[in-house]
């Protein structure tokens, strides 16, 4: 049985996150990838997650700035 390509694309970032020691950076990288793929709702969700889980991190600072730009239509 073949797994649809879309399902693999959805599972791959999750698998990367599970194996990483720097989850904040992995979440940020995944959010940026989702944004590049024009999946803005998921990118915003991931940026929010970075901010919620790691509020004082450098990644949260980047996520806040990017989320503000996305929410203002830029």
What is the pLDDT, as a whole number, of residue 9?
62
What is the pLDDT, as a whole number, of residue 73?
84
Task: State the Cα–Cα distance between residues 58 and 34, nearest whole angstrom.
Answer: 20
> What are 1-53's pLDDT values in tens digits?
555 665 556 666 665 555 546 999 999 999 999 999 999 999 999 999 999 99
Q: How many CB atoms lie within 10 A of CB 53?
A: 13
Q: Say which residue, 3 or 61, is predicted with more confidence.
A: 61
pTM of structure: 0.71
């Amino acid at each position: 049985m073949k797994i649809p390509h879309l399902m693999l694309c959805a599972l791959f970032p999750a698998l990367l996150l599970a194996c990483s020691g720097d989850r904040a950076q992995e979440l940020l990288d995944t959010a940026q990838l989702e944004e590049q793929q024009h999946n803005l709702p998921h990118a915003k969700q991931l940026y929010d997650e970075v901010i919620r889980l790691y509020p004082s991190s450098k990644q949260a600072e980047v996520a806040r700035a990017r989320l503000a730009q996305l929410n203002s239509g830029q």
